[in-house]
């Protein structure tokens, strides 16, 4: 489909789509949901079996995209149960999220900076996957259509992210990502650059615990192979406009490699970047082989406002 004819994701969702996986056999669905929901919500009052029964009847519970009608259903180990969790305090995004590409197999959106690709530790936070699921399921009580995460962008990063509409489509494209068969192009800003105009960084990266989160540090002995190509596109107003092609897909790879070069991202305090209101990394282009169309699909995300002054430098 042409991106000019596409609409956008809803700015909020009345449901949060949750998936609970059984790590043992449960004799009753309602017992499993009661346990899972109380662990998820961590509410001092918890839920009751009567409430679970009502939700099953509404319906709010699905297995393999099919409605479950019996609260006494046996849940075997490794079974995934989808549940439409009612939002009590809707969080509405200030802007709708543009859809860049959509067909019967995939949907690609222009993720804004600050919005997570999937659920975070804070269940109150909106995230892209939930909004995609609600877009694909405007009446989820009738049918629960599949929406699956294939790859991720860091929460502060904007740009192209693709979700699958079927498990088959998910598996096929996930393999391309894991085998580095996709082509990704990012744009970045830094207030420092002392490298050649074109540079290849192959510094190995090790994901390391730091505080409450993780960082990727250069570690020649224990790190994983990591490869990023950088090209300086130009300079304006004391900022350097950089194109990045990650050849591998390590956590925070571009951020860590730019820091390694002495050119951390503008706004990326975690890796030594100068403080700024904007986080200057944008997933600009993504190309992959579409198994159904039997051709390479190219998806491009328009530049965020903070990058617009550099648009004429793009080649």
Please, are residues 300 and 293 in contact by the beta-carbon 8 Å criterion? no
Better-predicted residue by pLDDT, 197 or 129: 197
Residue 30 belongs to a domain? yes
Residue 171 belongs to a domain? yes
CA–CA separation, 134 and 146 (whole Å): 10
Residue 194 belongs to a domain? yes
Mean pLDDT of the chain: 88
Q: What percent of the chain has pLDDT over 70?
A: 89
- Give the pLDDT confidence score for residue 48 in this predicted structure: 82
Please, are residues 71 and 50 in contact by the beta-carbon 8 Å criterion? no
- Give the pLDDT confidence score for residue 2 in this predicted structure: 41
Do 29 and 143 reside in the same domain of the chain?
A: no
pLDDT in tens, 234-258: 999 999 999 999 999 999 999 999 9
Is it the case that residue 124 has pLDDT exceeding 90?
Answer: no
Instruction: Report the interhelical angle of 29-41 vs 49-57 (nearest 10°).
Output: 110
Do 130 and 7 reside in the same domain of the chain?
A: yes
- Give the pLDDT confidence score for residue 12 in this predicted structure: 63
Domain end among 86, 106, 129: 86
DSSP for 118-136, written as a single string = S--S-TTS-BHHHHHHHHH
Confidence bin at 211 (pLDDT 50/70/90): confident
Do 7 and 151 reside in the same domain of the chain?
A: yes
Helix (H) or strand (E) holding 29: helix 29-41
Per DSSP, the three-state class of 66 is: strand
CA–CA separation, 100 and 301 (whole Å): 7
DSSP 89: S
Do 74 and 125 reside in the same domain of the chain?
A: no
Do 102 and 7 reside in the same domain of the chain?
A: yes
Do 129 and 114 reside in the same domain of the chain?
A: yes
Residue 258 belongs to a domain? yes
CA–CA separation, 202 and 116 (whole Å): 28
Better-predicted residue by pLDDT, 61 or 4: 61
Residue 310 belongs to a domain? no
Is it the case that residue 226 has pLDDT exceeding 80?
Answer: yes
What's the CATH code of the domain at 22?
Answer: 3.10.290.10
Do 107 and 135 reside in the same domain of the chain?
A: yes
- Give the pLDDT confidence score for residue 95 in this predicted structure: 61
CA–CA separation, 216 and 204 (whole Å): 9
Query: How many contiguous H segments (helices) and E segments (strands) does the chain have?
Result: 5, 17
Do 31 and 165 reside in the same domain of the chain?
A: no
pLDDT in tens, 85-95: 776 544 555 56
Do 94 and 215 reside in the same domain of the chain?
A: no
Please, are residues 111 and 155 in contact by the beta-carbon 8 Å criterion? no
Number of domains in the chain: 3
DSSP for 246-269, written as a single string = ESS--TTHHHHHHHHTT-PPTT-G
Lowest mean pLDDT among 93-107, 187-201, 232-246: 93-107
Helix (H) or strand (E) holding 99: strand 97-102
CA–CA separation, 28 and 25 (whole Å): 9
**Left, alpha or beta for 75 (phi > 0: left; psi -120 to 50: alpha)?**
beta
- Give the pLDDT confidence score for residue 145 in this predicted structure: 84
Residue 204 belongs to a domain? yes
Count Cβ atoms below 10 Å from residue 79 Cβ, excluding itself.
17
CA–CA separation, 152 and 135 (whole Å): 19
What's the CATH code of the domain at 146?
Answer: 3.30.2350.10
Residue closest to 228 by CA, chosen among 193, 180, 273: 180
Residue 197 belongs to a domain? yes
Domain end among 134, 161, 180: 180
Is it the case that residue 64 has pLDDT exceeding 70?
Answer: yes
Do 192 and 274 reside in the same domain of the chain?
A: yes
- Give the pLDDT confidence score for residue 96 in this predicted structure: 75
- Give the pLDDT confidence score for residue 87 in this predicted structure: 63
Do 219 and 156 reside in the same domain of the chain?
A: no
Residues that are catalytic: 154
Residue closest to 314 by CA, chosen among 224, 203, 202, 234: 234
Do 189 and 169 reside in the same domain of the chain?
A: no
- Give the pLDDT confidence score for residue 167 in this predicted structure: 94
Residue 303 belongs to a domain? no
Which domain covers residue 280, as residue numbers?
A: 183-284
């Amino acid at each position: 489909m042409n991106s000019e004819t596409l609409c956008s994701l809803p700015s909020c969702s009345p449901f949060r789509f949750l998936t609970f996986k059984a790590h043992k056999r449960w004799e009753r669905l309602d017992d499993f949901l009661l346990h899972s929901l109380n662990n998820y919500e961590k509410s001092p009052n918890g839920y009751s079996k009567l409430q679970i029964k009502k939700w099953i009847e509404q319906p709010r519970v699905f297995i393999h995209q099919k409605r479950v009608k019996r609260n006494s259903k046996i849940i075997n180990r490794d079974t995934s149960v989808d549940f439409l969790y009612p939002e009590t305090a809707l969080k509405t995004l200030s802007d709708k999220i543009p859809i860049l590409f959509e067909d019967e197999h995939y949907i690609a959106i222009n993720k804004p900076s600050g919005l997570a690709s999937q659920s975070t530790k804070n269940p109150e936070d909106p995230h892209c996957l939930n909004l995609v699921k609600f877009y694909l399921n405007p009446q989820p009580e009738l049918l629960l259509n599949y929406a699956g995460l294939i790859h991720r962008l860091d929460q502060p990063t904007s740009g192209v992210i693709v979700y699958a509409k079927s498990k088959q489509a998910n598996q096929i494209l996930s393999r391309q990502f894991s085998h580095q068969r996709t082509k990704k192009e990012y744009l970045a800003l830094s207030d420092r650059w002392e490298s050649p105009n074109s540079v290849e960084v192959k510094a190995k990266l090790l994901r390391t615990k730091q505080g409450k989160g993780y960082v990727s540090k250069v570690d020649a002995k224990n790190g994983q192979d990591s490869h990023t190509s950088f090209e300086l596109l130009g300079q304006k107003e004391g900022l350097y406009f950089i194109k990045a092609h990650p050849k591998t897909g390590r956590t925070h790879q571009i951020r860590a490699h730019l820091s390694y070069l002495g050119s951390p991202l503008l706004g990326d305090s975690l890796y030594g970047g100068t403080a700024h209101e904007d986080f200057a990394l944008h997933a600009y282009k993504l190309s992959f082989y579409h198994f159904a169309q039997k051709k390479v699909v190219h998806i491009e995300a328009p530049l965020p406002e903070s990058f617009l002054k550099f648009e004429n430098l793009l080649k």
